[in-house]
Structure 1
Amino acid sequence: MYLVMNPKDPEVSVRLADDGFAPYVWGTDFSFEVNAYARADLHKKVEHWPLDMVTPYRKCYGIDPDEFASYLGAPDSAIFMAYLDKQPVGHVVVSTNWNGFAHVDELAVAAGARRHGVAKSLLDVVKFWSLKKNLPGIMLETQNNNIGACRLYERCGYQVGGIDHLRYRGIDPQTSEVAIFWYLLFENRC
């Protein structure tokens, strides 16, 4: 996907996904560069997590829009798409988890559209959706090789609720990838 943006002040908008969701996903690069694995610590800010540097490589998750087809129009889930200067550049998939929290099943921003407030705008919509449903908070998971995402979640008020060193060992027994579970707890619910 080729993005042409107004570099001075791009306009971000978010709305419910429509029939354009699948073509947008199939045609967009969501990869990111990994150059380190963080040693996540429940008791320290992300900026103080030690880093184990690695030879840089591109990480790309296999995003399949069909996986979330049943979410469209369902009462306990939603897919929102973000637009930057009217071009689709990001999405978030949210559902109500078994424990009552809103669960961010997927959050992705096109590689060329990062650092324009797209992910924060999507998280703001998830917060609004969650509060409207009177849920106790939001939960999501990322990995220790996605340090930019960890910094974003922390800036948005999320806290680390757990770290799982074994989650990805079934995929790769030698992996250094660690799952980090983030929570945003709502203090005053209606």
Structure 2
Amino acid sequence: MNPKYPGLSVRVADEGFDAYVWGNDFSFEVSAYGEPQMGKRVDQWSVERILPYRKCYGIDPEEFASFRDAPDSAIFMAYLDDRAVGHIVVSTNWNGFAHVDELAVALPARRHGVAKALLDVAQFWSRKKNLPGMMLETQNNNLGACRLYERCGYVMGGIDHLRYRGIDPQTREVAIFWYRLFKTEVQQP
């Protein structure tokens, strides 16, 4: 139970995961592109405002079917008053870090601590496996997510300006890799 949001809980994903994914809107509004810079906080980035549009990643629950009940991965679902409203998929990456493969919160449940609660549970899972930290990737057009990761103690570990150019050669989307380091011997750059 979350004291700030008493009806919020997180549990291991169950057989209702597929129906929950198909039945929710995980899109978000893009209204700006940030210019990420190593060593600068998100609120210090240059921002270019654009005509707003909705972004949807087309989440497919089958993509992560093998992650359930596997020793090196897990899917957790968040509930607000027993209604499924978010999920996180986490796995052990090739580099030894926990990798957040997906984090999504249903549109009406945003701003209720759901994403942070999911990240906290994934962090517990990662620490229990004695991993050195967690990593994830988002884009410069999802500034809300960037601010969330920063608030949760993540540091920017890399920026990739070319990652999405194979999909769209004209895209302004930039991949940003965030890390949450657990141990003091793993130093940030």
Provide structure 1 residue ranges, at least 5 long, that are not aligned to the other structure. Answer: 1-7
Contact 1:10 1:116 in 2 (8 A): no
Contact 1:12 1:118 in 2 (8 A): yes
Matched, 1:155 2:151: yes
Contact 1:72 1:78 in 2 (8 A): yes
Partner of 2:71: 75
TM-score w.r.t. the length of structure 2 is 0.94
Identical-pair percentage: 74
Matched, 1:54 2:50: yes
2:21 to 25, 32, 36: 25
Task: Provide the C-alpha distance between the structure 2 equivalents of 1:57 and 1:188, rounded to a whole number of angstroms.
Answer: 41
Matched length: 182
Contact 1:93 1:105 in 2 (8 A): yes
Task: Kindly state the Cα deviation for residue 187 of structure 1 after the two structures are TM-superposed.
Answer: 2.0
Contact 1:144 1:180 in 2 (8 A): yes
Task: Provide the C-alpha distance between the structure 1 equivalents of 2:48 and 2:75, rounded to a whole number of angstroms.
Answer: 35
The one-letter amino acid of 1:42's match is M
List structure 1 segments (4+ residues) > 2 angstroms apart after TM superposition: none
> Cα RMSD over matched residues?
1.2
Partner of 1:141: 137
**1:28-177 equivalences in 2 (<5 Å):** 28-177=24-173
